[in-house]
Amino acid sequence: MSKLVYLVPLFPLAGFLINGLLRKKLSKSVISIIGCGTVLASFVVSLLIFLDARQEGFETVVVNLFGFISAGSLKIPFAFQVDQLSVLFLLIITGVGFLIHVYSTSYMHDEENEHFARYFSYLNLFVFSMLILVLGANYVIMFIGWEGVGLCSYLLIGFWFKNIDYGNAAKKAFIMNRIGDLGFLIAVFWMINKFGSVGFAEVFTKAPSVPVGILTGITLLLFVGATGKSAQIPLYTWLPDAMAGPTPVSALIHAATMVTAGIYMIARSNIMYTLSPITETVVAITGLATALLAATIALKQNDIKKVLAYSTVSQLGYMFLGLGVGAYTGAVFHVMTHAFFKALLFLGAGSVIHALHEQDIRKMGGLKKFMPITHITFLLACFAIAGIPPFSGFFSKDEILAAAYEKNPIYFIVGVITALMTAFYMFRLYATTFLGKFRGTEEQEHHVHESPSAITIPLIILAILAVVAGFVGIPEVFAKDSHWLQHFLSPIFAGSEKIHQTPGADKSTDLTLMGISVVLALIGVVYAWTKFSKNPELGEPQGFGKILANKWYVDELYDAIIVRPLNAFAKFLNDVVEKSVIDWIVNGVGKTVQYSSRQIRLLQSGQVGGYVLLMVIGIVILFLVEIFIKK
Amino acid sequence: MPINYYIFLSVTLFCIGVTGVLTRRNAIIIFMCIELMLNAVNLLLVAFSKMHHLALAAVDANAGINAQIFVFFIMVVAAAEVSVGLAIIVMMYRNTHSVDVNFLNRLKH
């Protein structure tokens, strides 16, 4: 079955081509069937491969499709690698991706036929790129997917490109990603230089024999790529702006594709990161700082999608913290549970936006009785992200926090504070949106209704997953050998675990840590619930809240220290260098040629004697050269 | 006689020829000067050939004869060239009623 893995990305590619090329001919129902069907087919193939891979003694399969680059001794095949990690990501991408596709058929139904097809072809291309990213058996193939998702995010964020702000948001996402991609690219070149190969198998076997300094450099550059793609400090600002795209796209970017790319890449290269402790510390601290910063910003946002966007940035920070402290399984686990509950949150938010045509939570409220299914699924997702047991987020978050505690208790403390804030802002969002009194216009109240089944069914499926997904990774404390995911992924992380080998905290410490995080999360939930269900904050924030509402002025800071100087520099180049230097050189060349040819033309006198004289002078010069200079 | 004498003689002849070509305007004189240069070279050719094969001269009376044959060829070709050249000068005279080369400045255009 694993040999057929090339089918998985092939289906979405076919869907992209059909929908993209025939967008003016197909009807909406055909487009929907092609768009969803191709992803469903990929999901089925992935599921079959997964059933293969979960059997005992499954060996990593590398499927060589064709030679991609061959230059001297460097051979880069176009190869796919099937192992436990890539299979798990295949399932997440195609599974959640499929639900989002189904959801989109209803959400985007008001679009014109042509744009509807364009939307679905982009969506399929997005899934295709992400599949290439996780399937590639070397860093170059991964880079193809890496660039592909960057392109697709640009296309989809700027889907409504007639709005100039949306176009700018798309450009911002693309440029931020490009900055990160540069780091990734340099790392790949460095690897070619040091390892003579970019294949995962070769690089990871040779990694221990390479000096730590070089490994640190390579891993840090790869991490720069990851900060771009996975929205970490300092390149995170594109993700909240990516809300410009249609809501299902946000769900796709935040849950199934794109932002998990950086986590996947680091989890894939875990052995290199384990071998360079400096990078591990950098990753952990960056993740932690991002988690905290984004959580503080999310406290004061009033746009339903912005809150979710910052919560994604914050949760991604958690994942990086997990990667940095060596809890690779925990990070991948959190990717999985996060994919479910964050997709659910975004799709729920989309359902609300679809019903109200409004994104400001201050103008919502009381939607509980209008949209029961959306309400209950959203509530479950909030519990999951807040880390309330036994919802899925609790297990994955707790695993990361426990590993962080073993590494350094300060990590744990900051992580728990972030968890408290997470619980608080999620339930602020929930309470303001769904509880209390309806604060919209009367017309909206008249129109508000539960969304159609194409929207609610994905919500229900995702809600079930968000609730139960945690049970694949029950910690040791509760039941021995019940952490199925750890067992499943152990071949991938075996090398790193051998090096880390922390003794593991004893049972009582583990339980205490869990207790602390759960109690704090519950405090956050209850406080937010009581505070915002009756009287939500409707006024403009004051003082410190204003700083948070303005996102710590990071965008303004970037604008002042990077964008504006760059613009000024470009203006200088345009006004001064272009006009007086480059133009001068170009025109000067022309004038010189004209002038000198006019002068040289005078030699052409037509006098035979003159010609002969020149000839003789030439011969004499040649003789002189021959005699005196050339010895 | 030392080879230097021959070289000086032929260089002198050649320089006279060059000077003539450069300074004179009469086509026939220029033509004669060209012949002078050709013959200067011929003289040099024969002289060098004799010098080159000097060691063999005692044994073989014909040593160095190759250059002399070469010179004959040059003379024949020069004669042929003269006939063409004179024909050109005749045509030129018919057209311009002059053999002054400075009238032939239409190459400029």
Facing residue for B108 by CB, picked from A606, A609, A613: A606
Cis (ω within 30 of 0) for the bond into A458? no
**A31-49 mean pLDDT:** 93
CB atoms within 10 A of CB A229: 28
Size of the A and B interface in Cβ pairs below 8 Å: 28
Which residues on B lie below 8 Å from A613 (Cβ)? 22
The confidence score (pLDDT) of residue A207 equals 87
Judged by CB atoms closer than 8 Å, whether chains meet at B25 and A609 is answered as: yes
Residue A441 CA neighbour count, 13 Å, CB half: 7
Judged by CB atoms closer than 8 Å, whether chains meet at B22 and A608 is answered as: no
Chain B: give the shortest CA distance to residue A629, in Å.
22
Above pLDDT 90, what percent of chain A?
44
Interface test with B, best of A607, A611, A613, A617 (most B CBs within 10 A): A607
Judge if ipTM > 0.90. no
pLDDT grade for A631, boundaries at 50, 70 and 90: low
A630 against A230, higher pLDDT? A230
Which residues 578-607 of chain A have a CB within 8 Å of chain B?
604-607
- E strand or H helix that includes residue A99: helix A84-107
Facing residue for B22 by CB, picked from A604, A606, A616: A616
B35 vs B31: CA distance, rounded Å: 6
> pLDDT, tens digit, for every residue of B18-72?
999 888 888 899 889 999 999 999 999 888 888 888 777 777 777 778 888 889 9
For A543-572, the DSSP string reads HHHHHHHTGGGHHHHHIIIIIHHHHHHHHH
Instruction: Report the C-alpha dihedral over residues A382, A385, A387, A393, rounded to 10 degrees.
Output: 130
The confidence score (pLDDT) of residue A356 equals 85
Give Cβ neighbours of residue A258 (< 8 Å, ≥ 6 apart). Answer: A126, A130, A149, A153, A229, A252
| Boundaries of every domain in chain B | 3-102
B109 vs B97: CA distance, rounded Å: 22
CA-nearest residue to B101 within chain A is A608
Chain A: give the shortest CA distance to residue B106, in Å.
6
Above pLDDT 70, what percent of chain A?
98
Which residues on B lie below 8 Å from A604 (Cβ)? 107-108
- E strand or H helix that includes residue A80: strand A74-82
CA-nearest residue to A602 within chain B is B108
A539 against A325, higher pLDDT? A325
Facing residue for B107 by CB, picked from A606, A612, A613: A606
Judged by CB atoms closer than 8 Å, whether chains meet at A606 and B21 is answered as: no
Burial per residue of A339-365, b for 16 or more beta-carbon CB atoms within 10 angstroms, e otherwise: bbbbbbbbbbbbbbbbbbebbebbbbb
The confidence score (pLDDT) of residue A369 equals 84
CATH class label, B3-102: mainly alpha
Which residues on B lie below 8 Å from A609 (Cβ)? 21-23, 25, 101-102
Chain B: give the shortest CA distance to residue A70, in Å.
59
Q: Flag the least confident range among A416-420, A597-601, A604-608, B89-93.
A: A604-608
> pLDDT, tens digit, for every residue of A460-501?
999 999 888 888 888 877 777 778 888 888 888 888 877 776
The confidence score (pLDDT) of residue A265 equals 93
> pLDDT, tens digit, for every residue of A343-387?
999 999 999 888 888 888 888 888 888 888 999 999 999 999 998
Judged against a pLDDT cut of 80, whether residue A502 lies above it is answered with no
**A185-210 mean pLDDT:** 90
pLDDT grade for A504, boundaries at 50, 70 and 90: low
A129 vs A146: CA distance, rounded Å: 7
Which residues on A lie below 8 Å from B107 (Cβ)? 604, 606, 608
CB atoms within 10 A of CB A328: 26
Chain B: give the shortest CA distance to residue A597, in Å.
15
Alpha helices in A357-408 (DSSP H): 372-386, 392-407
> pLDDT, tens digit, for every residue of A17-36?
999 999 888 888 999 999 99
**A333-352 mean pLDDT:** 91
Which residues on A lie below 8 Å from B106 (Cβ)? 606
